Amino acid sequence: MRRPLNYLLILAVGLVSTASGVAANAPEETAPGETNKPLFTAKALRENVTPNWQIARGLLAYGGSQLTFLVPDQYSMRAERETMRVLLDFAGDAGKYGAATIEIQFYPRSAFPTNELNLQWLTEKVKADQPDAAILGDFTVALGDTVGPGLEVRINRAGSPPVLLRHALVTLSDSVVEIKQATHPAKAEWHQGAFTQLATSFRLSPAGSKPEFRPLSLE
């Protein structure tokens, strides 16, 4: 029996600061020495990630078992808690559609040159950090490791192993909201409504193999 390929799908949830909903629910708490406003709020995330998630569900149907959400540094503990709860909800849906591992990574806006979200720079960065990755449209897809049974949520700390959280986790501890950086920044230069313009066909193939194109249903 042929072993199914496990893919790591990076869902970049990068929104520009002018996106609708960003100003809503403005954070009240900020980390010491940080005055920057969050790139987006949980409300904006809910409004923008749903079409993106439909595409992810289609990819899962082809044997993907790992999803990675890359989200901006919130500059606020309150905003991070809200965002984490939203992503954990999506993690639960991912389990229903066959995903065994959900990974959530935070990255700081300061990680980008000139403090702006730049797609070309990010693509080069991802390729350098993940040589076996294939850049597919607005996603980065790379081979992932086989994971054990059960749903896990991974939250990466800068320079340390991932922290594993069970989907049943509802209350987020202080150690979770302090996570502010990730190894790989997220793709960006997206704006509200852009997700609906994505193509419905993606190339799913392991590194070094012949590209394979399959139709992707968004239903």
Q: Tell which wins on pLDDT, 116 or 68.
A: 68
pLDDT classification of 30: cutoffs 50, 70, 90:
very low
CB 83 within 8 A of CB 71: yes
Task: Classify residue 214: in a domain, yes or no.
Answer: no
Number of domains composing the chain: 1
pLDDT of residue 26: 34
Tokens of 185: 């920044």
Task: Classify residue 219: in a domain, yes or no.
Answer: no
Task: Classify residue 91: in a domain, yes or no.
Answer: yes
Percent of the chain residues topping a pLDDT of 70: 0
Q: pLDDT digit string (tens) for 82-139?
A: 555 555 555 555 555 444 444 444 444 444 444 434 444 545 555 565 554 433 333 2
C-alpha distance across the termini of the chain, in Å:
29
Tokens of 44: 């904006």
Task: Classify residue 58: in a domain, yes or no.
Answer: yes
Task: Classify residue 205: in a domain, yes or no.
Answer: no
pLDDT of residue 93: 52
Q: Tell which wins on pLDDT, 8 or 112.
A: 112
Provide the residue range defining the domain that includes 171: 7-200
Distance CA 10, CA 104 (A): 9
pLDDT of residue 90: 54
Task: Classify residue 217: in a domain, yes or no.
Answer: no
Task: Classify residue 44: in a domain, yes or no.
Answer: yes
pLDDT of residue 88: 53
- Helix, strand and coil content of the chain, in percent to the nearest 5, comes to 30, 20, 50
pLDDT of residue 86: 55
Q: Tell which wins on pLDDT, 145 or 75.
A: 75
Look at residues 172, 192, 155, 169 and name the one whose alpha carbon lies nearest to residue 79.
Answer: 172
Contacts of 15 (CB under 8 A, 6+ apart): 22, 39, 40, 44, 45, 48, 72, 190, 191, 192
CB 9 within 8 A of CB 59: yes
Task: Classify residue 35: in a domain, yes or no.
Answer: yes
Q: Tell which wins on pLDDT, 192 or 135.
A: 135
pLDDT classification of 192: cutoffs 50, 70, 90:
very low
Q: In the chain, which ranges are E strands?
A: 7-12, 66-72, 101-107, 134-136, 139-143, 152-155, 163-166, 201-203, 213-215
Helices (H), the chain: 42-60, 77-96, 119-129, 174-177
pTM of the predicted structure, to 2 decimals:
0.30
Owner of token pair 């709860």: 85
Q: pLDDT digit string (tens) for 126-182?
A: 556 555 443 333 322 222 222 222 333 343 333 333 333 222 111 222 222 222 222
